[in-house]
Structure 1
Amino acid sequence: MSDLKDPRVLFAAERTLLAWNRTSLSFIAFGFLIERAGLLLHVLAPERAAGLNAMLGFWIGVLFILLGAFAAIWSSRQFRALLRTLSPAEFPAGYGFRWGLAVNMVVAFLGLVLVGALFIGRG
């Protein structure tokens, strides 16, 4: 348990959580971009878009999306572990510190839904 009795510890941890949230979103967006780039190449130059390249782009994109979902889940886990170490004096009265966790978990869930949608759309 922390003896600092300083709410700045909570705020620093929350900033770190939200930085990981941005990183997660970046991984997910980048993965989606890679996955869809294969589709764009297939439309623009079907003779050059071989099956192996399309498959490779699909799997790399899916892996980036899964990495983003994992980063969101893991950073939420780390934040919850840190919250358990803080004393009640380090939580400002009425401050909703769980919103960052909720947003991170929604991002992770939506990343996993996106992976499912990509697999379903691939048919």
Structure 2
Amino acid sequence: MDPWPFPLNLDSRAVLAENGPCLGLRWVRCFMIFRMARSLNEWLWQHEFWLLPGITWQDMQESEDVHYPQPRDLLLGIPFALILVVIRCAFERAIALPLSRKQCEREAETKSSAQPHAGTLKR
């Protein structure tokens, strides 16, 4: 079924005679926009741009034994990303923060008990 519900051999004079000048011009503009959009769509989805040589879009049709990835498969990434964010937050709170506090305590102890370098000049 053609997505355009109006006849493609649109005669602007017939439309003008039936509907008056305003409605007729709207139909002609709408028809021209549709034709431009259709030609842009056909140009954009040429198989030469997207597929290997010798393969067409008809070759990419799914069958019972052949399944191709679908755009909806990308939705699986959203729950996995959220799970990774939760794991990261839990790691930061439970492991990284206590370790960093212990590391700061150790550095404070070693700085207070550190001896000056033997090669430094005292004035």
The normalised TM-score by structure 2 is 0.33
Identify which of structures 1 and 2 has the higher relative contact order when contacts are C-alpha pairs closer than 8 Å and 6+ apart.
Answer: 1
Name the larger-Rg structure.
2
